[in-house]
Amino acid sequence: MADAAVKGRFAVVGGGLAGLMTVIKLAEAGQHVDVFSIVPVKRSHSVCAQGGINGAVNTKGEGDHPDIHVRDTLRSGDFLLEQVAVKGMCYAAPGIIYLLDRMGVPFNRTAFAGATTGQQLLYALDEQVRRYEAEGKVTKHEFWEFLGIVRDEGGPCRGLVAMNLHTMEVKSFAADAVCLASGGPGIVFGRSTNSTINTGTAAASVYRDGAIYANGEFIQVHPTAIPGEDKLRLMSESVRGEGGRVWVPSDGGMDERSKTQRPPKGEPWYFLETWYPKYKNLVPRDVGTREIFHVCRDLKLGIDGKDAVYLDVTHIPAKTLDAKLKGVLELYEKFQGVDPRYQPMKIFPAMHYSMGGLWVDIEGDSNNLPVPGSPRNQSTNIPGLYAAGECDYAYHGANRLGANSLLSCIYAGMITGPAMVSYAKNAASTEGSTALLDREEKRWKERFAGIQKMQGNENPYGLARELGDLMTENMTVVRYNDRLTKALERIKELKQRWQNINVLDTAVGTTNQPLSFVNQLWNMLELAHVMTQGALLRDECRGAHYKPDHNLPVPSHRDPTQDPVWMAKWKERNDKWLKFTKATWTAEGPKITYEPVKFPVLEPEPRWYA
């Protein structure tokens, strides 16, 4: 039976940084919050974040300012961001960092905590949530999986349905408003730097219920990840930032790009330093990713002919490394059995972050800052349903600025909580919605009863592996329309094959992972469809979306504005494609439309991307 409806009861799905900050703001307002997490809250994927958190704190009077942070974020995202949300985030950043400092986060320099920043932030917020939990304002439902929202006939969200992963009990819960803070969809790509729980199933479920999914094609690939059979483990950008060098053993040949001879055969060839003498190993992550991919796949110079290059910190004293990078270096040693202080690490690019996600609204004031407490802030197109963190699309555009993810999660949570309270004040009470909750609970029970009877010849984990390989090969570093078209056909084929799945485990009343995964896999296929179709339609290179067949030509002048031919092509590109992708679910596949980006803060300027 459904939980009894109580006015002033809210639900948050996800126990990472965005979810916990939303919980804190709701509890501060005296509300009761149910938190649903597929794993223990302290195991949420935010714990894996290694790099720092951005903020123009200007600690040493170096001339830093939030306006610079705004400009850098908008440029990095190639302007496909919600500019009002970005300005609000960047202006709030210094205060957020000081707040975290007061919570006890051990920053060892400006907004960086020993390459384990995500863990430190998550534990600090969880400590605050536990205070409200002790007061009875917060109820944690750990090992409960979100299945879907409950909508009444008028459209608003009235609660949710979740499943206890210990007993497989399906139950509905009333809520005046629901916030999804469920993270990214990394496992759609098979092995990624994401936790294996990050299937994107929660966002896909509400997408199927009518929520708009925006900018799905923008997927960030991290240049340096540890290869692994189960998943790919992140090796932080801070390693390159602290002096890490990328190289492969030379073949002794001529480098056509630089017109120089490579070092003698077998000696290190520092290709980033050769090709980018100004930036060297500090090139942006998308550039580094493409070059590592190029060296391994096109030049066939990967280590031992495989997809791997060296990330080398052995020239840095071990004591210095321990002071700055101990957490990530221990991670490599644990999983690879090699001490990276004395032997170079083997790394390769991996799917890392989704800039796209659920479309959310932001109400701006006359200063182009979010209106405090507006019920529109972080709201999806479904009334009463909110989204925050990696599962929303607002803050990162076409390419995430490194270390903005932790900030965007916390900031989004800070404005989502008050927005949900404001919404609930004017929304109809959930009292009297028991019949509606019971109906949805029954529907989900019937769905899982049907899945439990599936005895076909398709292995769900085999299908997931095929999907991951397909997406990694076609939807990550380099994209071509003919391959994307074939990938879409394969996704449709996988959807058909899903109908013939074997659930593998028919256990009742106890943990049944395949039963849960079969449902998740359908949602993963839906997201893969959205992402791939969006990428096929977007014929341009923008941010992390790289289509060599649709790149801008090299301008004839160092200042592109002095090349009228190039400027004409740039204007055509932006007039046509400086728009958000907005996908709506249909039974035949996503219906994709475009919405022009508003420029209340900063107009896009002509730039040439190397």
Q: How far apart are CA 436 and CA 153, in angstroms?
A: 9
Question: Are 94 and 25 contained in the same domain?
Answer: yes
CATH number of the domain encompassing residue 301: 3.90.700.10
Question: Are 127 and 193 contained in the same domain?
Answer: yes
CB 399 within 8 A of CB 80: no
Chain-wide mean pLDDT for the chain?
Answer: 93
φ/ψ region of 14 (left if φ > 0, alpha if ψ in -120 to 50, else beta) reads left
pLDDT in tens, 426-451: 887 766 688 999 999 999 999 999 99
Question: Are 283 and 207 contained in the same domain?
Answer: no
- The confidence score (pLDDT) of residue 395 equals 98
- The confidence score (pLDDT) of residue 321 equals 94
Question: Are 287 and 377 contained in the same domain?
Answer: no
Question: Are 268 and 314 contained in the same domain?
Answer: yes
The pair of structure tokens assigned to 523 is 């949602």
Q: How far apart are CA 171 and CA 164, in angstroms?
A: 8
CATH number of the domain encompassing residue 68: 3.50.50.60
- The confidence score (pLDDT) of residue 50 equals 79
Residue 530 counted as domain residue: no
Question: Are 259 and 388 contained in the same domain?
Answer: no
Domain, as residue range, for 299:
224-351
Residue 232 confidence (pLDDT) above 90: no
Stretch 200-214: mean pLDDT: 98
Question: Are 244 and 143 contained in the same domain?
Answer: no
Residue 365 counted as domain residue: yes
Residues with catalytic roles: 285
Q: How far apart are CA 299 and CA 379, in angstroms?
A: 47
pLDDT in tens, 143-196: 999 999 999 877 999 999 999 999 999 999 999 999 999 999 999 999 899 998
Q: pLDDT band for position 610 (50/70/90)?
A: very low
- The confidence score (pLDDT) of residue 3 equals 56
Number of domains in the chain: 2
Q: How many CB atoms lie within 10 A of CB 243?
A: 16
Averaging pLDDT over each range in 116-120, 344-348, 552-556, which range is the top one?
344-348
Question: Are 320 and 232 contained in the same domain?
Answer: yes
Question: Are 365 and 296 contained in the same domain?
Answer: no
Q: pLDDT band for position 117 (50/70/90)?
A: confident
Question: Are 97 and 159 contained in the same domain?
Answer: yes
| Residue ending a domain, choose from 335, 351, 367 | 351
pLDDT in tens, 455-511: 999 999 999 999 999 999 999 999 999 999 999 999 999 999 999 999 999 999 999
CB 413 within 8 A of CB 18: yes
Residue 146 counted as domain residue: yes
- The confidence score (pLDDT) of residue 607 equals 78
Q: pLDDT band for position 1 (50/70/90)?
A: low
The residues, ordered by sequence, that sit 6+ positions from 376 with a Cβ below 8 Å of its Cβ are 361, 362, 363, 419
- The confidence score (pLDDT) of residue 545 equals 95
Residue 564 counted as domain residue: no
| Residue ending a domain, choose from 295, 318, 351 | 351
Question: Are 173 and 261 contained in the same domain?
Answer: no
For residue 534, the 8-state DSSP code is H
Residue 122 counted as domain residue: yes
- The confidence score (pLDDT) of residue 554 equals 85
pLDDT in tens, 509-562: 999 999 999 999 999 999 999 999 999 999 999 999 999 999 888 888 888 899
Residue 454 counted as domain residue: no
The residues, ordered by sequence, that sit 6+ positions from 104 with a Cβ below 8 Å of its Cβ are 124, 127
CB 203 within 8 A of CB 391: yes
pLDDT in tens, 56-115: 998 888 899 999 999 999 999 999 999 999 999 999 999 999 999 999 988 766 576 766
| Residue ending a domain, choose from 432, 453, 476 | 432
The percent of residues in the chain predicted with pLDDT above 70, rounded, is 97
Question: Are 288 and 199 contained in the same domain?
Answer: no
Residue 23 counted as domain residue: yes
Residue 565 counted as domain residue: no
Whole-structure pTM value: 0.94
